[in-house]
Amino acid sequence: MESAAYRVLAINPGSTSTKVGLFEGETEVFTSSVAHDAAKLDEFESVSAQLPYRRDMILAVLAEHGVELDEIDAFVGRGGGLLPCEGGTYEVNDVMLDHAYRGANGVQHPAQLGSQLAHEFAAKAGVPAFVVNPPDTDELCDEARMTGIAGVYRNVHLHALNLKETAIRHAASMGRRYDECDFIVCHIGGGVSISAHQHGRMIDGYDIVGGEGAMAPTRCGAVPVAGVLDYLDAGHSVAETRELCMKKGGFVDLLGTSDAIEVRRRAAAGDAAAQRAWGALLFQLNKYIGSMATVLAGHVDAILLGGGMVHDEDLVESIRNACEWIAPVCAYPGEFELAAMAAGALRVLAGQEAPKTYTGIAVFTGFEEKVH
């Protein structure tokens, strides 16, 4: 069957909403975002306990559009809760469901409902369920894993799904395959991901929930370790400090808002603190993009920008001015997450790509190092 004939439902559970999209081949039939009341979500004892609530809301969306489960050829969800694995499209299996249910990666996030919801619907329809480029996609080269502390290694948490889809789309626009190209790919939104892609593998990037890379509206980014120790010595807890890495740093801590549009407005009105914060964000974006150019030894086909903040033309122009000497800068405002999930499933259904098997074994567990 041609890929255009397959119908795929993509499911993206988030902190305050569940987004769903039905695709027929590459054509979007409809997308819908169902908002969730925070107080209602707080009633559940765990993320996974929300499954029946979110399932019923998705079923209501399908009913509203006159779509039956048995009219869909595959279901695909976000792959949260998993251990680090290579990028690609994975068929949901029992190991994956167990890891997603309990959040085996140690991060409790609604994305872990993606595979569970996809599996529940697929089981009823008698069709496959998939996840595509999970949040814990890890394709780092060995050199990128090392730190100067024995037994402490770098890993990455990035917007892998959107990063890879942006790269796949841009490669196609060049008449080439993703695995034939070298890109620096960025997602610039509430979180900021900057990554190096070499011949279809994301060989370096930053742990954006661990305090690496550029700051973001909700994340502190890289901070000197000694400064963090001083912060702890001043009486702040480890939990407070961790929140600066994950959701309360960046613009939130500096300015009391995560709204980049508000920050730009305040900066334009002469707010010195907002001007410094916005300027620092642009400076750091350019600095970390430049660092990925060295990872690729200067062989960069394009610098690709995705995410909501890429709608800001001044931000894009700043990156062009600072980085276009490296490679052409191409903007893809917004995100392709639902379309990216559907595209991964379609490639498997059409026989263009073989599905991968989630083993539950992390792709990296450490080097054998000599202890002094």
- Domain check: are 211 and 77 in the same one? no
- Domain check: are 216 and 321 in the same one? yes
270 within a domain of the structure (yes/no): yes
pLDDT per position as a tens digit, 74-110: 999 999 999 999 999 999 999 999 999 999 988 788 9
| Mean pLDDT, rounded, for 316-321 | 98
Containing 10, the helix (H) or strand (E) segment is strand 7-13
Task: Please say whether the beta carbons of 218 and 188 come within 8 A.
Answer: no
Q: What pLDDT score does 369 carry?
A: 60
| Residue 74 main-chain phi, psi, to 5 deg | -165, 155
- Domain check: are 94 and 214 in the same one? no
Cα Rg for the chain, rounded, in angstroms? Answer: 21
The residue whose two tokens read 């002469």 is: 270
- Domain check: are 172 and 126 in the same one? no
- Domain check: are 199 and 258 in the same one? yes
Interatomic CA distance for residues 130 and 90, integer angstroms: 5
192 within a domain of the structure (yes/no): yes
CATH of the domain at 66: 3.30.420.40
- Domain check: are 181 and 270 in the same one? yes
The torsion of the CA quartet 264, 14, 292, 366, rounded to 10 degrees, works out to: 140
pLDDT per position as a tens digit, 109-118: 899 999 999 9
- Domain check: are 74 and 111 in the same one? yes
Question: What range does the domain containing 251 cover?
Answer: 160-333
Number of domains in the chain: 2
| 256: its two tokens | 């009391």
- Domain check: are 188 and 284 in the same one? yes
155 within a domain of the structure (yes/no): no
A 10 A CB-CB count for 334 gives 13
- Domain check: are 111 and 169 in the same one? no
DSSP 189: S
352 within a domain of the structure (yes/no): yes
The residue whose two tokens read 């620096």 is: 184
| 270: its two tokens | 């002469």
369 within a domain of the structure (yes/no): no
204 within a domain of the structure (yes/no): yes
In sequence order, what E strands does 212-371 have? 302-307, 329-333, 356-357
pLDDT per position as a tens digit, 34-59: 888 888 888 999 999 999 999 999 99
pLDDT per position as a tens digit, 190-247: 889 999 999 999 999 999 888 999 999 999 999 999 999 999 999 999 999 999 998 8
- Domain check: are 84 and 128 in the same one? yes
In sequence order, what E strands does 127-275 have? 129-132, 182-188, 192-198, 201-204
- Domain check: are 311 and 344 in the same one? no
199 within a domain of the structure (yes/no): yes
